[in-house]
Structure 1
Amino acid sequence: MIIALYRILFLAAFLAIWEVASNAFDAGFFISRPSLVAASFLTMIANGSFFYNLSITATEAALGFLFGAIFGVGVGLLLGRLKVLADILDPFLITFYSLPKVALAPLFILWFGIGIDMKVILAAVTVFFLVFLNTYTGVRSVSPEQIAILRLMGAGERALIAKVIVPSALTWVFTGLRLSVPYALIGAIVGEIIAANRGIGYVLSDAAAQFDTAAVFAALIGIVVLSLIFNGIVRFAERALMPWKAGEDTREISI
């Protein structure tokens, strides 16, 4: 309760300093003011454009996150268990991972057009590598001695994956998923900024083109809201699939 109060006080102080500084230094054109940002934000809500564009970006980012996570976990498990195949593909995966995914956007426009498909694929590719690398690391970190003992006890590959490898790698998987949330949004928003006439990325780009700083900040609020929602969903799934982790977090807080 006290921490929440301090957070509210910090936010209030930050907004007050921002408002006063903007007026004192006549910097409204560059940093706007909280009052103007709030007015722009409320205007977007009133005319329905905020939730309309937010829902489009949320759909693109959510689908990209879902597909990227599924393929990332699947490929991570596969290469984590097949070391020879992992060694063969390693230089190619590292090369593609090193490439800034934003640079792929023009190519994706040529391949997939400017519709929602391009934004979903760009977000999925961005998410894929983070989830894949964390899943692969989690699978490879499982104790070989433990696997050897279970094999001696008659456990097959399916049982090893279901009972040992996946539970052991879950922490790594959810770390990758949490890290991927902003990157899913980056993929969707960059796609909208480059080629779109709707979505929060388009609102951001259009406001910047009109030098409407308040609307730019209002669009950023929408991005923050989406990020918080997605992070909350990932944390909820983590607690549901790893109840022991929630217990550990509670003990850490109490300490």
Structure 2
Amino acid sequence: MTAIQTVRLDRSWWGRHGGTATVWSLRALLVVALLVVWELTAERWFDITFTSKPSDIWTRLVQWHQDGTLWSNTWITVQEVVYGFLLGAAAGALTGFVLASARAFYQVLDPFIMALYAIPKVALAPLFIVWFGIGMSMKVLLAAATVFFLVFLNVAAGVREVDRGLIDAVRLMGGGRRDILVKVVVPSSMTGLLTGLKVAIPYALIGAVIGELVASNRGLGYLINDAAAQFDTAGVFATLVVLSVIAALLNLVVGLLDRRASRWKPLGEER
């Protein structure tokens, strides 16, 4: 029998990362082009009272950076988002896994869960204020409630769609319930969990900022309210830029976790 030899391919940096570098270069070019067009056409085609322009937004960011307004309020919102995301994701993953494993129980609760999921989370803000006040805990719990259902539904779907053939194969090899759980159900549900985490990231931001918009004297939602009350369009856009950066960084973290968790998959199935 002929032994198979593995030949190492010494590819250049561009050969290994050229595709990714091209994509990121095009993205950066697109952003720069949009900003340049916006800057050049702002006062000619639009009323900057309503649209502002990139140079004014940058000036506002620099001003807030220098007086500490940006970092103090950003730190408050980041804490609310991270705590709410972790709390909602943990509760959603655990509940989804447990309930989906008990199929009969899940079928009984399914319509009630979907009814709760359908409630607009902004409608919960006044109730959460009554229950928890206007402190950070209210925003954390509102963000967690928003994240919970997205993670729960994706994890439950992953558990319920486990390949029955894999379960039968483990049983044929003498595996018990613990083997099926650890070697089949948990890995299969990881895809749903990671999808839920990715989808939930912006909603964690939405939940926290909604809480700040409704009742708060600090945080990025408060900055939006304060800037809008003063008709400071540049301030509103500056806050939105910061929120976008936070969302992008959280997405990057989850993406790294996704790649590490997907190493067990065949190459053709990695996302």
TM-score range, shorter chain: over 0.9
Q: Which residue number in structure 1 is paired with residue 62 of structure 2?
A: 42
Choose from 223, 226, 250 the match for 1:206.
226
Question: Given the alignment, which residue of 212, 215, 227 partners 1:195?
Answer: 215
Bigger Rg, structure 1 or 2? 2
SS at match of 1:142: coil
The correspondence for 1:158, drawn from 154, 178, 181, is 178
Q: Deviations over 1:5-39 (max 9, x none)?
A: 32222212111111122110351101001110000
> How far apart are 1:144 and its partner, in Å?
2.0
CA deviation after TM superposition for structure 1 residue 235, in Å:
1.1
* Matching residue within 161, 165, 168 for 1:141: 161
Question: Are 1:70 and 2:90 counterparts?
Answer: yes
Are the equivalent residues in 1 in contact too, given 2:150–2:199 (CA < 8 A)?
yes
Q: Structure 1, residues 157-213: CA drift from partner, whole Å, max 9, x if none? A: 333222111111111110110000000000000001111111111101110111000
Alpha-carbon distance in structure 1 between the residues aligned to 2:72 and 2:150: 29
Q: Counterparts of 2:262 and 2:206 in 1: how far apart (Å)?
A: 28
Could you tell me how far apart the structure 1 residues matched to 2:23 and 2:194 are?
Answer: 26
Task: Please identify, of 19-28 and 59-68, the stretch whose mean Cα deviation from structure 2 is larger.
Answer: 19-28
User: Between the two proteins, what is the percent identity of the paired residues?
Assistant: 45
Q: How many residues align?
A: 251
Q: CA deviation at 1:236?
A: 1.5
RMSD over aligned CA atoms reads 1.8
- CA shift for structure 1 position 249: 8.3
Q: Closer, same or farther in 2 for the Cα pair 1:108/1:244, shift >3 Å?
A: same
Quote the residue 1:112 is aligned against. 132
Q: Distance in 1 between the 2:61 and 2:143 partners?
A: 26
Equivalent residue for 2:244, pick from 207, 224, 243: 224
CA 1:106–1:198 in structure 2 vs 1: closer, same or farther (change >3 Å)? Answer: same
Structure 2 counterpart of 1:241: 261
Between structures 1 and 2, the one with greater helix share = 1
Q: Give the letter for the 2:127 counterpart.
A: L
**Distance (Å, rounded) in 1 between the aligned partners of 2:268 and 2:85:** 27
Give the unaligned 5+ runs of structure 2: 1-20
Q: Within 5 Å, which residues of 2 pair with 1:113-132?
A: 113-132=133-152
In 2, Cα distance between equivalents of 1:110 and 1:46: 36
Tell me, in whole angstroms, the C-alpha distance in 1 between the residues paired with 2:234 and 2:267: 42
Equivalent position SS for 1:84 = helix
| Cα distance in 2, alignment partners of residues 46 and 175 from structure 1 | 38
Is contact 1:239-1:246 (8 Å) kept?
Answer: no
TM-score w.r.t. the length of structure 1 is: 0.93
